[in-house]
Structure 1
Amino acid sequence: MTDDIDFTGVFPAMCTPFDEDERIDFKTLQTDAQRLERAGVDGLVPVGSTGESATLTHEEHVQVVDAVIDAVSDVPVIAGTGSNNTREALELSERAADAGADGLLLISPYYNKPEQRGLVEHYRTIADAVDVPQIVYNVPSRTGRSIEPDTAVSLATHENIAGYKAASGDLGLIGEIAERTTDEDFAVLSGDDALTLPMLSVGATGAISVAANIEPERTCAMVGAALDGDFTRARTLHHELGPLFRELFVETNPIPVKEAMQIRGYGPARMRPPLSRLAAEYRDDLEAVLADLEENSAAVADAGAEGDR
C-alpha cells in the first residue's frame, strides 16, 4: 500500500456544483474544497453519491478529482470510483489513482445484486490492481444488497482494503464488523450522519459526512469529542445538529444539501436530471434550521469573547 491514510475524523462527501448549462463549476468546487480544509476536516471525498457521480462521465470524474487535489494542500482526497461493473470500477479507480487520489471509495455494485462471493471477488479484483487504500461502501437502500459482516471481515485482510463505510442503518451489523476487525488495520466509518455518534460508541473512527458540507466545524467537534471519550459534549453537539441531519434527508441526497449550500452561499443548488431542486414545501424549514445553527454559533462566539475579557 502507498502512504497510509489515518481514517479518523470527518471526511465531507462533497457536492459537485454545476453552472447554468449543467457543466461542472470548477472554480466553485475548488473554493469549496479550500473552505472545508480551513474548517479542519480530515479529508475530502469528491464524486461519491453526494457528488452526483451517477450523472458524471468518466472524464468528468477524473477532472473533479484533479480539481480537488489541486485546490487543497494538507488533507487526503478519497475519490469515489465505484460502479456495478467491475471493469468500469477498476478503470475509474486506476484513473483516479493516476491523478493522485490518496484513497478510493467504492460503492458496492448496485442493481445487479451480486452474491456475497461476487462482492468479495469484485473488491479484491480492484484492490489487487490498484495500490492505494480503499474503502468499501455499504448502502443497501441504493444498491439492493448489503455487504455482510463475514464479507467485510474477509475483505479487511487485504492490504489495500482499509475501511468500510456504513450506511445500512443496522447498528448491530456495524458493531459486529468493528468488533471482528479490531486486529486489522481497518476503519469503520459512518455514512449516516444521524447515526454517527452511536457508531462511534461501538468502534467507528469517523464519518464520511453530508452534514459536514454545511457545518464542518461542529461536525468535527462532535466526532472529536466522541473519539476523546467526552460523550456528554458529543451528545450535546449531536442534538444541536439533529435538526440539520433530518432536513438533509427529507428528499433524496444530495437535493437538500445542495439547497443548503446555496442558502449558505457555498454553491449553487442546481442538479443534473433526473434529480430536481428541493420542493418548496421543505425550504422554509431548512432555512430555519440553518438560521438556528448560525445564531447558536454566534452566541457561543460572543460568550467566548466575553470570557476572554
Structure 2
Amino acid sequence: MNLNISKLNGAFSALISPMDDDGDLCKSTYRNFIRRQIRAGCGLVPCGTTGESATMSHQEHENVIRWCVEEAQRSNEKPFVLAGAGSNNTKEAISLSRHAERMGVDGVLLITPYYNKPTQKGLYAHYAAIASEINIPIVVYNCPGRTGGNILPQTVQSLSEDYANIIGYKAASGNLAQIQKVINLTHDNFVVLSGDDSLTYEIMKSGGKGVISVASNLIPERMVQFVQLMTNNQWSEARIEHNLLQDLFHNLFIETNPAPAKYGAEILNLMSSRVRLPLVGLEPSSKTIMRSTLENLSLQINQK
C-alpha cells in the first residue's frame, strides 16, 4: 500500500471551486487559485463540501481532481492532495475513490453516508468496503450537521485497527469530548484534523495535527502560520492569533458555506462569488459583514 502520510498535517484548504458566468467550472481561475494555496504552504482538499462537490457531475469531479493533482505534482512543494470522494452510495464512493487513486491523489476524504442514516455497524461496513478496494490513505469525515449521522469514536477505533489505510479523521462534529475520545482511542500515527477553523486551537491542543480549513481560501499564509505556532508548542502566541481570527471563522458561516467564502474571494479579486443552486449568493447585510471582517484583518479588498 502507498501509505506515505508524512505530509498529512498542518493547514489544508477545503478548496472553493470557481464558476464562470454560465455556472461552469473555470479551469484557469482554479489552477491559479491552487497555485496560490501551494505557495502559501497549504495542503489541498478538492471536491469537499466547500468545493460544492454535491452539485458536481462525475466528469467535473474528475476534472477538478486532475487539475489539482497536476498543479501539486508540478510544484516544488509537492503538497498532500486529499480528495473528497464520499457518497451515501457505497458503490459510488468506491468508484470515486478508485478514480482519485488512479489520478494520483495522496489520500481520500470520505464523508459519512448522509440521508440513509446507517447504524454504527453500517458505517463500519461502508468504510470497510471502500478500504478493501483502494490502496491509498483514507480520512473519515464526520460532520453530523451536514449528514444527520454521527460516527462514534469506538467505530473509528475499530476501523483504524482493522484497516491499515484508514489513517485519519476530520473532526467537524463540534463535540470536543468526542473528538478527544477519538484521539485517545486511536494509535499514535492516526491523524486527527480539525474540520472547524474555530476549534482548531482546542483540537490541536488535545493532540490534533492540523486543520482542513475554509478560512485558508482567503488567508492561506496566515492559517499556515497559525497552525505552525501550535505545531511548535507556541500556545500563547497561537491563542492570540486564534482570538484575532474568531470573527472571520464565525462569519464564514454567517450563511451557508461556501457562499461567504466565495464572496470573500471575489472582493479579494480571486474569483467570482457565484455558487450553484440550490445555494445562492449572500444577502446585502451579510456582504457588509464579510467586507468589514476582511478589512479588519487589513486585507486588500476591492471597493466595488
TM-score class, shorter-chain normalisation, is over 0.9
- 1:115 aligns with 119
Matched letter for residue 10 of structure 2 = G
Matched letter for residue 257 of structure 1 = A
- 1:306 aligns with none
- 1:300 aligns with none
In structure 2, the residue corresponding to 1:137 is in which secondary structure?
A: strand
Q: Does 1:59 align with 2:59?
A: yes
Structure 1 segments unaligned to the other structure (5+ residues): 297-309
Measured in 2, the distance between the counterparts of 1:241 and 1:5 equals 28
Matches within 5 A, 1:43-58: 43-58=43-58
TM-score by length of 1: 0.93
Correspondence for 1:124 among 128, 142, 159: 128
Q: Is the 8 A contact 1:156 1:184 kept in 2?
A: no
Measured in 2, the distance between the counterparts of 1:127 and 1:189 equals 19
Residue by residue, what CA displacement relative to the aligned partner does 1:187-243 show, whole Å, maximum 9, x if unpaired? 000000110101111111000000011111111111111121111110111111111
- 2:256 aligns with 252
* Residue 87 (structure 1) shift: 0.3
Q: Does 1:32 align with 2:33?
A: yes
Residue by residue, what CA displacement relative to the aligned partner does 1:28-84 show, whole Å, maximum 9, x if unpaired? 11101000110111x100000000000001111010000111122211211100000
Structure 2 segments unaligned to the other structure (5+ residues): none
Runs of 4+ residues deviating >6 angstroms: none
- 1:226 aligns with 230
- 2:210 aligns with 206
Matched letter for residue 201 of structure 1 = K
Q: Is the 8 A contact 1:218 1:237 kept in 2?
A: no
Measured in 1, the distance between the counterparts of 2:110 and 2:236 equals 34
Measured in 2, the distance between the counterparts of 1:261 and 1:15 equals 9
Correspondence for 2:169 among 148, 164, 173: 164
TM-score by length of 2: 0.95
- 1:68 aligns with 68
Correspondence for 1:286 among 287, 290, 299: 290
- 2:266 aligns with 262
* Residue 294 (structure 1) shift: 2.0
Matched letter for residue 98 of structure 2 = E
Residue by residue, what CA displacement relative to the aligned partner does 1:258-279 show, whole Å, maximum 9, x if unpaired? 1111111111110110000011
Q: Is the 8 A contact 2:3 2:165 kept in 1?
A: no
